[in-house]
Amino acid sequence: MSSGFQRLLPILPASLALAVAGAAPAAAADVWTADPYEARVTLPDPEPGTPVTGGTMACAAEAWTLTLATRIDAIVAGATGTARIVVPLGTFEAPSKAVPAGIEIAVPRAALEPLMRSTRLSIGFAGGTDEVRFPLAGSRRAITAAEALCSKVEMPVANSVPLTPYSSYLLLTRDLRRSDIEDFVMSTADAPRLRAGMVEIGEGRRLLFSEMCGSTWYYGASGCSLIGYAPVEGKDAAKPEGWRIVYETEGVYLYVDPDAAHEGWPDLLAYAAAAPTEAMRWTWKDGSYALEDDAAPAADEVPVNAKAD
């Protein structure tokens, strides 16, 4: 409640003041409510019959944590282990742990849209019998508002692909992606934002990258597409025909791994922009980059929580 509103409250008629004061808790008990200043959402009251008395969901560094408040003396079987987040649009498993008077659950980013589109939510724990149920009224508005306040992961600069809207290669990549740009404009009625960058490898090897952003509807959660090109032997590198596509993905922070290479081409490490906690390794194979089956832990590759140099 704002301080201005509090100053006005004493001069209201007693009956009206009581009605206003009682309205906020009732509304909060029925719908998901976003904090106006922090990336945090308060859940409505859960259905009775479990040790859980309430819940909040908060976002920090693009990661979401759902905290369930429990009775002080409550013991929830399976609370430390795996939680099951169940909505009509899907079931999501997530790491969970018991904390003093509560349970913390790391909410998968893939669960956010189903949470916002569904009408009911239930949470259970592997090895336990308790099932907590919440309504989802107001979840889209609340989660969207909290996400706008969520802090971003600060990625390091070292070994990153140097994308910039001021690159001297921007005109060339615009020509390379001319049909992509035309399709984007036709579908969205808007112009995309472009960035470009060159990675010099040596011995005649170079990688030209082009990023195109502008629509989460068109390109998914990140709103961006990234394409990498390698030179075509014997062709003019100043013209589009002098390049061929060797890498393509959507919405990533991209790094060159200077310590790993295949056939003279360095491995690439891609971190999903929506949740940059795990690296996807791309290796050169049969003339282009291919995604390895196993993802590499972020901590062993690029310190994603370090501040930019």
68 and 177 fall within a common domain: no
Residues 64 and 105 in one domain: yes
Digit-coded pLDDT (tens) for 72-111: 888 899 999 999 999 999 999 999 999 998 999 999 888 9
> Quick check: is 21 in a domain?
no
Ramachandran region, residue 291 (left: φ > 0; alpha: ψ -120 to 50; beta: rest): beta
pLDDT at 279: 83
Closest listed residue to residue 162, CA positions, set 297, 308, 285: 308
CA distance 267 to 255: 9
Within-domain flag for 290: yes
Strand ranges across the sheet with 193-202: 193-202, 205-213, 224-231, 243-250
d(CA 108, CA 93): 8
The answer to whether residue 175 is domain-embedded is yes
Cα separation, 288 vs 136, whole angstroms: 45
Same-domain status, 125 and 215: no
The answer as to whether 22 is a domain residue is no
Domain boundary among 149, 179, 210: 149
Residue 52: how many CA atoms within 13 Å on its side-chain side? 27
For position 140, what pLDDT does the model report?
Answer: 94
Residue 7 placed within a domain: no
Judgement on whether residues 215 and 255 belong to the same structural domain of the protein: yes
Let me know whether 111 and 183 are in one domain: no
| Same domain (yes/no): 212, 140 | no
Q: Is residue 77 part of a domain?
A: yes
Sign for the pseudo-dihedral over CA of 145, 149, 150, 156: positive
Cα(228)–Cα(243) distance, rounded to whole angstroms? Answer: 9
- Structurally, how many domains does the chain consist of? 2
Residue 163 lies in a domain: no
Cα(308)–Cα(87) distance, integer angstroms: 38
pLDDT at 97: 95
- On whether residue 205 sits in a domain, the answer given is yes
CATH number at residue 45: 2.60.40.1880
- Do 185 and 217 belong together in one domain? yes
C-alpha–C-alpha distance, residues 193 and 46, integer Å: 44
The predicted structure's pLDDT at residue 37: 95
Which residues of the chain register pLDDT less than 70? Answer: 1-29, 221, 274-277, 294-309
What pLDDT is stored for residue 79 in this prediction?
A: 93
- Domain of 182? 170-300
